[in-house]
Structure 1
């Protein structure tokens, strides 16, 4: 009995001590309006057991509030939801908010690339990689983008005038091949038979989903099994080992083809990371490969697939895109070689891309950790260790900033004249500020080349209706039915 009393007293003592030590944290939190999100036991249970479709509803439900600033709790974790572009500007640019939340740092023990890594880790890697995503770096990869896109055009010939198919699988294979070739590792994925290709892609998706779930459900530690695939056959392995079984091959291939001379100018960011003067370990390089592939492959493939699906629904917009392509390249069915200068000429296509990413952002929200107190909403002081959430999917559809037709598809809102009237932080598909997506120019250029080639050669259609589309989220926001389209040769 005495032991039990001591145990109870000890527990109560530490609970009281915890709240006393964190009294300012809870005091500042109490001043912030509360979100409508249900953080009771049942609400948390629903969150932890949600499938992708329900997860998106719960996430949007927690963001759907009238206040510019609102809070919600998940256990002891305080989430601050910022709905005002001025506050979002502060969050993206303030040094107090550069870092990722602690629960993502937990995940970083599994993956330490730029996608998940801590602040100092990110800074050192970004410094090395930045030069390769500038003007000269983008020009250098144009031939790769064209080469891989031509393979896609050829591989789709067997689908002309056939039943609907999920273009996402093709776009994923294309994007993955392209990214790996940029990293100087050429692998044939697009020409594999569909079953082997799709199993390989599914394994990558599984890794990404588990990585995301581990951020919010850290007790999960499942193994991923790469099933029989003509590309890679791997027995049951730990998640971190099987994320990219060819990572060692990539590194060894680049080492074999470079001198690794400290004074030699690197041709790619992979060469730069392998350069001894940058002092990166093999594990750091492997994690960076994983980060680049996971960040670029899935997001670019989803965005391109969504654009084709919407163009199949909005035939008038599809025709306007084709008219612009004809003005730039002439009326010809052959896949054009798109030069760097041509990319900037595709103004209307870029408007369409922007509108699709506004309505259907691949990443629906971004989270940052507050390392020093910061003021948002002109009056709310956000406590240290709070997690700030930027709800991209809600900001992009906020009628206050986009007008009464905010939920309608209208590429014209991104014309130079119309977009100039929009708050610059009301459109943030790649985030903004020092820690924005490093490859956003890369992604835009890649999508333009992919879509331009596709629409010059094929007319796209679908049986899906816009109001029938269902969305879900784990790592990224996707269409639950798949990106089901039909294609036929474009007539000239």
Structure 2
């Protein structure tokens, strides 16, 4: 009897597998035409994640960037990934209406109503309603708060002058989270005496690293099996902490609204004759009340996404840029000279930033070598032709941003070195626009690019005017840590020396 049961189960599974393969015949036919150097029988490419953590995966993949063919295929169980990195191919993919949908792996971040991960229909509606919040007139009205919080960071770093090396990431994170709280919630976290900001950043980083690990550990992707693991239990605990901190921020905002009609920062905006912007949380609530496309959970998910994305992007890029300047003292000095010649005073306005050409080159070069996101992924809802290949419908298209940014065929033999001249006007004019994708590109590019650049420039200007940075690290020492956003595993360790200038930067 037992033998008959086994035979029946085996036959049923074989029949299901045959029908499954047959229903996807076109996908397999097109996939077979793509090279797949990481494929192994049955398990495909998932062996890359065996026994490797987030740092080890990057150490395994980085040396292979210039040797693997593209486009290429990689299987994660039944899911076909097509890796594409040629700029002319990416221009097609990222501008296709059939490639707006995010890959299924973004579901692991559990923000299905957030702009970051929303399905195309919801994404289009959210993008339409939220775009004015990130337009130049709106972002310019945040400049007083950026100046105020950057001055506070400069002041808080005073105690570290001449001391042992420290990690710049969390110091910049306090600035970033402070500005986001003011501009999105109208809440001044600098009045919060607890270690709230530190706990928020540390927990968010660990939580999103866990979520990201499911992308390259395919055996953790099925939710049924994942729920049996200790990793899932840790994720749920960190998710509760993350959401608990968001709830605390919201409750602090409601309390602040009862006590004060305006914040100090808003008063400063009025003094500078700048239009008071609508807070991001107000915009989300208006969208929810007036359109019904977001429920209460959707509002919180979008708020979570905005706070984390802005905080992590600013913290990562500013810290990386400072670290590159600490390693390359000649570049730091050239940038310092540009800054003091253009911005002699302590307050930085929008017009000042437009004159700092070398600053922009330095920031972009830091994001080239260390992009905020190491990769982005989309779902092909229909077949897409790129060059001689056809990407099948339902394939996951992986855009390896870090590989694109370090491609020696595009950036030359010194592609792994730090050289801001890569972004001189002459070199930019000669390069395909999709060879540089720090904020993604095409239809679903980052909505907060203008916000990010302005907040990053203001804090960098003030830091570089006030301090000289140095480090014991060398560029060749740096190891990368794979998370939702790319990290330097060594940390952003540096020393401070106060600059002697004619005016006090406060």
Match of 2:340 in 1: 326
Match of 1:455 in 2: 464
For 1:192 and 1:38, the matched residues in 2 are separated by 54
Relative to structure 1, the CA distance from residue 110 to residue 148 in structure 2 (aligned partners, 3 Å threshold; closer, same or farther) is same
Match of 1:290 in 2: 304
Q: Deviations over 1:236-285 (max 9, x none)?
A: 87367436333532774698799xxxxxx982332222122132321111
1:345-360 → structure 2 map (5 Å cutoff): 345-360=355-370
For 1:83 and 1:324, the matched residues in 2 are separated by 35
1:126 Cα deviation after fit: 1.2
Please, which moves more after superposition, 114-123 or 444-453? 114-123
**Which of 286, 291, 297 is the aligned partner of 1:278?**
291
**Which of 310, 324, 328 is the aligned partner of 1:310?**
324
Query: Is the CA contact 2:167–2:494 (under 8 Å) kept in the aligned structure 1?
Result: yes
Q: Deviations over 1:290-342 (max 9, x none)?
A: 11112121122011001111101111100111111111123x7xxx1111111
For 2:388 and 2:256, the matched residues in 1 are separated by 53
Match of 1:150 in 2: 151
**Which of 476, 483, 492 is the aligned partner of 1:467?**
476
Query: Is the CA contact 1:167–1:485 (under 8 Å) kept in the aligned structure 2?
Result: yes
For 1:224 and 1:34, the matched residues in 2 are separated by 32
Match of 1:244 in 2: 246
1:43 Cα deviation after fit: 6.0
Does 2:443 match 1:434?
yes
Relative to structure 1, the CA distance from residue 104 to residue 413 in structure 2 (aligned partners, 3 Å threshold; closer, same or farther) is closer
Match of 1:164 in 2: 165
SS in 2 for 1:460: strand
For 2:22 and 2:328, the matched residues in 1 are separated by 58
Query: Is the CA contact 1:247–1:286 (under 8 Å) kept in the aligned structure 2?
Result: no
For 2:430 and 2:10, the matched residues in 1 are separated by 61
Match of 1:20 in 2: 22
Match of 1:204 in 2: 204
For 1:271 and 1:211, the matched residues in 2 are separated by 29
Match of 2:178 in 1: 177
SS in 1 for 2:385: strand
Query: Is the CA contact 1:458–1:488 (under 8 Å) kept in the aligned structure 2?
Result: yes
**Which of 58, 68, 75 is the aligned partner of 2:70?**
68
For 1:314 and 1:127, the matched residues in 2 are separated by 42
1:65 Cα deviation after fit: 4.1
For 2:452 and 2:19, the matched residues in 1 are separated by 49
Query: Is the CA contact 1:28–1:383 (under 8 Å) kept in the aligned structure 2?
Result: yes
Match of 2:97 in 1: 95
Query: Is the CA contact 1:115–1:295 (under 8 Å) kept in the aligned structure 2?
Result: no
Q: Deviations over 1:96-115 (max 9, x none)?
A: 1110112323x365553112
Please, which moves more after superposition, 397-406 or 303-312? 397-406
SS in 1 for 2:73: strand
For 2:41 and 2:401, the matched residues in 1 are separated by 22
Match of 2:53 in 1: 51
SS in 1 for 2:115: coil
More helix by share: 2
Relative to structure 1, the CA distance from residue 148 to residue 48 in structure 2 (aligned partners, 3 Å threshold; closer, same or farther) is farther
Match of 1:299 in 2: 313
1:137 Cα deviation after fit: 1.0
Relative to structure 1, the CA distance from residue 429 to residue 111 in structure 2 (aligned partners, 3 Å threshold; closer, same or farther) is same
The Cα RMSD (Å) is 2.6
SS in 2 for 1:15: helix
1:149 Cα deviation after fit: 0.6
Match of 2:269 in 1: none
Relative to structure 1, the CA distance from residue 39 to residue 3 in structure 2 (aligned partners, 3 Å threshold; closer, same or farther) is closer
Query: Is the CA contact 2:317–2:367 (under 8 Å) kept in the aligned structure 1?
Result: yes
Match of 1:231 in 2: none
1:151 Cα deviation after fit: 0.8
Match of 1:365 in 2: 375
For 1:119 and 1:108, the matched residues in 2 are separated by 17
1:57 Cα deviation after fit: 2.9
Structure 1, unaligned stretches of length 5 or more?
A: 227-235, 259-264
Match of 2:423 in 1: 414
For 2:116 and 2:239, the matched residues in 1 are separated by 22
Relative to structure 1, the CA distance from residue 67 to residue 190 in structure 2 (aligned partners, 3 Å threshold; closer, same or farther) is farther
For 1:316 and 1:237, the matched residues in 2 are separated by 43
SS in 1 for 2:417: coil
SS in 2 for 1:272: helix
Match of 1:261 in 2: none
Normalised TM-score (structure 2):
0.86
SS in 1 for 2:247: coil
Structure 2, unaligned stretches of length 5 or more?
A: 262-275, 502-506
Q: Deviations over 1:82-104 (max 9, x none)?
A: 12100011111001111011232
For 2:188 and 2:39, the matched residues in 1 are separated by 46
For 2:453 and 2:167, the matched residues in 1 are separated by 22
SS in 2 for 1:221: helix
Match of 2:232 in 1: 221
1:459 Cα deviation after fit: 0.8
